[in-house]
Structure 1
């Protein structure tokens, strides 16, 4: 008999990543307008951290 391992379902994780990416891409022009990049010494890392935080919140609440 095979175990199905229901806790290892990847479909919701992929959809959360896609939703977070779309939301982040829509938020990027607003971040440029506000001057988000000037607040950090490494803006790329700050944007990546923001994406990871958005992904984590989606995974946590849904």
Structure 2
């Protein structure tokens, strides 16, 4: 069972799949930040930068596992 990773080609330059997952996770977190702020995410989990980074890493790992 081999998994072929779709590579992104930008003006003839092959970009590693991790870069596309990295950018997609950034977009997802950027969309979720206002929603989480309204819900009170920072009040529940303590230090906001640590909680947001852990959320980002979780989303990044899920994207890499699913796609």
TM-score, normalised to structure 2, is 0.75
Bigger share in strand: 2
Structure 1 gap segments, 5+ residues each: 1-8
In terms of Rg, which structure is larger? 1
Bigger share in helix: 1
Structure 2 gap segments, 5+ residues each: 1-6, 8-14
Match of 1:20 in 2: 25
Match of 1:30 in 2: 35
State the structure with bigger RCO (CA 8 A, min sep 6), 1 or 2.
Answer: 1
Corresponding residue pairs, total: 54
**Structure 1 residue 43, shift from structure 2 partner:** 1.4
Q: After TM superposition, which residue ranges in structure 1, 4 or more long, deviate above 3 angstroms?
A: none
TM-score, normalised to structure 1, is 0.81
Q: What's the RMSD between the two structures over aligned residues?
A: 1.4
Counterparts of 1:23 and 1:42 in 2: how far apart (Å)?
20
